[in-house]
Amino acid sequence: MAFTISMRQTFLSLLVILILVVQSEGGGIAIYWGQNGNEGTLAETCASGNYHIVNLAFLSTFGGGRTPMINLAGHCDPYSNACVGLSADIKACQAKGIKVLLSIGGGVVSYSLDSSGDARQVATYLWNNFLGGHSSTRPLGDAVLDGIDFDIEGGSSEHWDELAWYLSRYSKRGKKVFLTAAPQCPFPDQWVGGALKTGLFDYVWVQFYNNPPCQYTPGELSNLENSWKQWTSSIHSTKTFIGLPAAADAAGSGFIPVNNLTSQVLPAIKGSTKYGGVMLWSKYYDDETGYSASIKSYV
């Protein structure tokens, strides 16, 4: 009997500790970097102390027999192999505990997955050239990224689930490969809705902008709140982020002023056990407004 009571007390103590840990775990801010040469360096981005995750945007060309190509706008020229210089910045970010991911896709659709074999080939390419594999032509040098972000905004909805599965298998080789996605807020997402059903994604930052039926409008929170509840109750991700533009001119619609976000939106969604934080598009616009610095103590 004494042993049973002792075990029960131990269990209750561990349960209390777990609850305290979960309650003390706040949200974070994810940012997209790479699509404007005037947004500062990657090292400066991570040194700001505002971000927990940085998505390098984008690997914009891949699949369907295309030669994969990274596009980091004015930051470096991949054709002259100049982006390998980012390796030191990536390592500096990771040394601060910041995850650095490669975002594949983007708004300019020059990508597709034409078959299961195509998905496997793209996964192999990503592993060897950006993750823990080996290649003589790694575009970002020898830095090992933390994972892959799916920002799929066009083309076909086929085979993204298979790409996620193939990538997830590489986690068994040592360092975990984080998988994230940036679906549009109408549920289910037209492009990666099927992939999200796999339960393989660690973070999902839902884009609550440029989509009036499910985004915030002044004085009207219900559309966003209802969509948030649908996403968090339907997808099997570790954490869900609310994706927002960091400035009014960063998107066609859906910008939420800081005061509205901190006083109305965040209190309405942070109660979810799947709440992960805020994703912002993008570092350039965040520099314009100081949005992340204004909200980070509330996230």
Residues 272-295 have a mean pLDDT of 98
Answer whether the bond into residue 222 is a cis peptide, omega within 30°. Answer: no
209 contacts 184 by C-beta, under 8 angstroms:
no
pLDDT band for position 25 (cuts 50, 70, 90): low
pLDDT given at position 107: 94
Locate all alpha helices (DSSP H) within 53-192, ordered by sequence. 87-95, 116-130, 160-169
Q: Give the model confidence (pLDDT) of 184-231 as tens digits.
A: 999 999 999 999 999 999 999 999 999 999 999 998 999 999 999 999
Q: What are the structural domains of the chain?
A: 55-201 (3.20.20.80)
Three-state DSSP state, 104:
strand
What whole-number distance in Å separates Cα of residue 167 and Cα of residue 160? 11
pLDDT given at position 219: 87
Q: Give the model confidence (pLDDT) of 36-83 as tens digits.
A: 999 999 999 999 999 999 999 999 999 999 999 999 999 999 999 999
Q: Give the model confidence (pLDDT) of 91-137 as tens digits.
A: 999 999 999 999 999 999 999 999 999 999 999 999 999 999 999 99
Three-state DSSP state, 198:
coil
DSSP-derived pairing of the beta strands 203-207 and 239-245: parallel
Q: Would you please indicate which residues are annotated as catalytic (active-site) residues?
A: 153
DSSP per-residue letters across 266-298:
HHHHTTSTTEEEEEEE-HHHHHHH-HHHHHTTT
Buried b (16+ CB within 10 A) or exposed e, 165-192: bbbbebbeeeeebbbbbbbbbbbbbebb
Q: Provide the whole-model pTM.
A: 0.91
For residue 184, what are the β-bridge partners?
A: 207
**Lookup: tokens for 272:** 């979810």
- DSSP code at position 35: S
- In the predicted model, what is the mean pLDDT of the chain? 92
Residue 239 — φ and ψ, nearest 5°?
-140, 145
Buried b (16+ CB within 10 A) or exposed e, 43-60: eebbeeebbbbbbbbbbb
**Element spanning 22, H or E:** helix 2-24
Q: Give the model confidence (pLDDT) of 237-264 as tens digits.
A: 789 999 999 999 999 999 999 999 999 9
Query: How far is Cα of residue 111 from the mean position of the Cα atoms in its chain?
Result: 19
